[in-house]
Structure 1
Amino acid sequence: MKAIDFRLDGLEPADDLSADLYDCTWVGDFKTISQHDAGERSFIIAFDTSATWGYPNMPNIVSFDIIRDSSQAAFGMRRAEHATFAFAQNWLVNRGCPPDALAPTIDAPTPADDLSVRVEDRIRRSGEHLEVVGYQVIDGSDVEGWSIAVDRQDKDLPVRLFLETLQPDQFTYTVREGAFADHAAADTWLEHRSTPLPEAPEYRLDTEALRTSAALSRTASLPLAASTSPASPATPVNSPRSSRRSL
């Protein structure tokens, strides 16, 4: 990962908040994960290497919105911390970055399946409908992290748990979204995990398609019950029909 570069030479903070944020941002601590430049504006997602040495569960992904005004020799800075890359994308998309412009520019783990891709895309494009209220960061030897968010558009199952699991050997990860009626139910599930993660209604068709695909793969791999010969033609095996939705 390359060191972050805000390109602020010769520019002064345009307001007190920008000055404060710049003063507490040690540039050497941040490595760029993704960046999109639009004229004098930069949308940046970076990894905070100092988070490893900070307090437990400190978020290690930071998004920056940098606006330069060369005519005034000034700049504005806004930043936010996140537990996962998708929520960092969401924050910048809400501030005007094109949603498809923030793919990682480094060698990073990739989604293990199409459902993970869809869950992350939902986060990225959810606007301000999802409000993160708690998280557990993936760091060091950990292979799992999660974020709890409130979905302002769902009155029945507003509390959403986004569970991210790494597969280090494959250099991949999965993301799943669970839906709960309240925070107590989500906390109870996280503590005990005695049942599968409750499916969010947005993905039920997707998980049904994945199960159907797996069932069809198992059926296709079964050997025929009887050998075939020219004198005894094989009876056709009818594969089960299933409607699959493209993910």
Structure 2
Amino acid sequence: MTAIDLRLDGLQPADEHTAELADRIWPNHFESISRHNVGERSFIVAFDRTATWDYPNARNIVSFDVVRDSSQATYSLRSSRHATLAFAQNWLVNRGCPPDVFALTGDVIKPADEMTVRVEDRIRRSGTRLEVVDYLVMDGGDLDGWSMAVDREDEVLPVRVFLEELQPDQGTYTVREGAFADFAAAGDWLEERSTPLPEAPEYRLEAETLRTSAALSRTAAALPQSSTPVTTAATPVGPTQSPGRSL
């Protein structure tokens, strides 16, 4: 991964918050994960290499929203810390970044499978539906981490656990979403992990829809196709013949 470049040469902070934030940021401490530029605006996700020496369980993924005004020679800067990549991207999407532009940059680990891609895409596009309330950061030699969130649109299984696991030998990772009725159930599962992560209902419904579509496609393909031309000439309707019935 490469150090982030905020492209601030010749620009001054546009407000007090930006000035204070800029004083605390050393670009060389951050490694770029993904970036999207739109005109004078940049949406950046980076890894904070110094977080491992911060307080325990310090969030080490940071989102940056940089808005430059070359006509005024100023810039504004906002940032947010997260425990997992997709929630860092969600923060940027909520600030106007398109959800489909987060190509990973540099030598970073990749999603291991299609399910990981689907779960992360759900997080990115969730708006403010998912509120993170707890997390465990992956740091150093850790092979897994998680974010616990409340799904504001689910009254039955509102507590969601997004479990991230690394496969260092393959340079990949997986993300899975589990659904629970309350915090106690979610906490118990994270503590024990004696059963599979309870699958969120969204993916069961999606899988059922895909299976139904596939079955309908197979049925349509198996139907015999007639090679006999269809006669379209109209047949007069007689007194003993029902309208619309062909001979």
Question: TM-score surpassing 0.5?
Answer: yes
1:70-149 equivalent positions in 2, closer than 5 A? 70-149=70-149
Task: Give runs of ≥4 in structure 1 deviating > 3 Å.
Answer: 205-210, 242-245
Cα 1:196–1:38, aligned 2, differ >3 Å: closer, same or farther? same
Cα 1:244–1:167, aligned 2, differ >3 Å: closer, same or farther? farther
Aligned partners of 2:190, 2:112: CA distance in 1, in Å? 22
The one-letter code matched in structure 2 to 1:100 is D
1:180-191 equivalent positions in 2, closer than 5 A? 180-191=180-191
Cα 1:61–1:244, aligned 2, differ >3 Å: closer, same or farther? farther
| 1:4 counterpart SS class | coil
- C-alpha displacement of 1:107: 2.3
Aligned partners of 1:10, 1:84: CA distance in 2, in Å? 33
The one-letter code matched in structure 2 to 1:122 is R
Aligned partners of 2:216, 2:42: CA distance in 1, in Å? 40
Q: Any unmatched runs of 5+ in structure 1?
A: 213-241
CA RMSD of aligned residues (A): 2.0
Check the 8 A contact 1:115/1:206 in 2, yes or no.
Answer: no
Q: Deviations over 1:128-178 (max 9, x none)?
A: 111111111112111101000111111111110000111111211111101
- Higher mean displacement: 85-94 or 198-207: 198-207
Q: Deviations over 1:61-110 (max 9, x none)?
A: 10100001111111110000011111111111111111111111122222
- C-alpha displacement of 1:207: 6.3
Identity percentage of aligned residues = 67
Aligned partners of 1:206, 1:182: CA distance in 2, in Å? 23
1:155-174 equivalent positions in 2, closer than 5 A? 155-174=155-174
- C-alpha displacement of 1:46: 0.8
Aligned partners of 2:157, 2:14: CA distance in 1, in Å? 42
Q: How many positions carry a matched residue from both structures?
A: 215
Cα 1:141–1:243, aligned 2, differ >3 Å: closer, same or farther? farther
Cα 1:209–1:31, aligned 2, differ >3 Å: closer, same or farther? same
- Higher mean displacement: 51-60 or 75-84: 51-60
- Rg comparison, structure with higher value: 2
1:188-227 equivalent positions in 2, closer than 5 A? 188-205=188-205
- C-alpha displacement of 1:195: 2.1
Check the 8 A contact 1:44/1:63 in 2, yes or no.
Answer: yes
Aligned partners of 2:16, 2:44: CA distance in 1, in Å? 21
Q: Any unmatched runs of 5+ in structure 2?
A: 218-247
TM-score by length of 1: 0.82
- C-alpha displacement of 1:126: 0.6
The one-letter code matched in structure 2 to 1:150 is V
Partner of 2:17: 17
Partner of 1:226: none
The one-letter code matched in structure 1 to 2:151 is D
